[in-house]
Amino acid sequence: MLNEIQNADWANFFVAEVGASAALTGLVVVAISINLTRILTYKTLPGLAATALILLGSVLVVTSAALIPHQPKIIFGLETFAVALAMLLVPTFIQIRASRVEPLTQRRTIVRAIMNGGPSLAMLIAGILLILGHPSGLYWIAAGTILSLISGVLIAWVLLIEILR
């Protein structure tokens, strides 16, 4: 465990984010199951649903890893970096593949890039800083976590509400 995480404030933050990301991941799973038939009629929505699960699942993994007792700082940094790399590359690959089948408008492409890239970039920076032993990496995890939750909620909204319009 990082010495900084032993501080009750950081521990409380990570515990809260584990719960929030787990709840939102569950919400996205429910949204997918409720509207699965409609989601599958759009060529790009399954990828968007997968992106939401990856973003929220990544937060769940990173914040859970932050709570592992007596974990060396460098290991936590490597875990964070690896998760962030997957968090960036997998949705990017999914969206590139989906856009070949059904091209998105330029606006939608930019919005999706921001929704995925922002949280992923923050987590990548966090991982690098933590590997280098810099405690500010925790603040970057906080930024990546908050951005991921925002993106996850927006995608859940699309999968639950906007798809019905």
**For 42-80, how does the pLDDT look when each residue is reduced to its tens digit (9 = 90+)?**
888 898 899 999 999 999 999 999 999 888 889 999 999
pLDDT in tens, 108-160: 888 888 888 999 999 999 999 999 999 899 999 999 999 999 999 999 898 88
The per-residue pLDDT for 127 is: 97
- Confidence at residue 1, expressed as pLDDT on a 0 to 100 scale: 47
What CA–CA distance (Å, rounded) separates 163 from 85? 30
Q: Is residue 3 a part of any domain in this protein?
A: no
Residue 2, in any domain of the structure: no
Q: Is residue 157 part of a domain?
A: yes
What is the span of the domain harbouring residue 139? 8-164
Number of domains the chain is built from: 1
Evaluate whether residue 38 is within a structural domain. yes
Residue 127 lies in a domain: yes
Evaluate whether residue 74 is within a structural domain.
yes
Backbone angles phi, psi at 93, to 5 degrees: -60, -45
Confidence check: pLDDT of 41 > 70: yes
Residue 68 DSSP SS3: coil
pLDDT for position 164? 77
| Residue 1 domain flag | no
Non-local CB neighbours of 105 within 8 Å, separated by 6+ positions: none
Residue 119 forms part of a structural domain:
yes
Diameter of the chain by CA atoms? 50
Task: Quote the pTM value.
Answer: 0.89
Which structure tokens are listed for 53?
């699960």
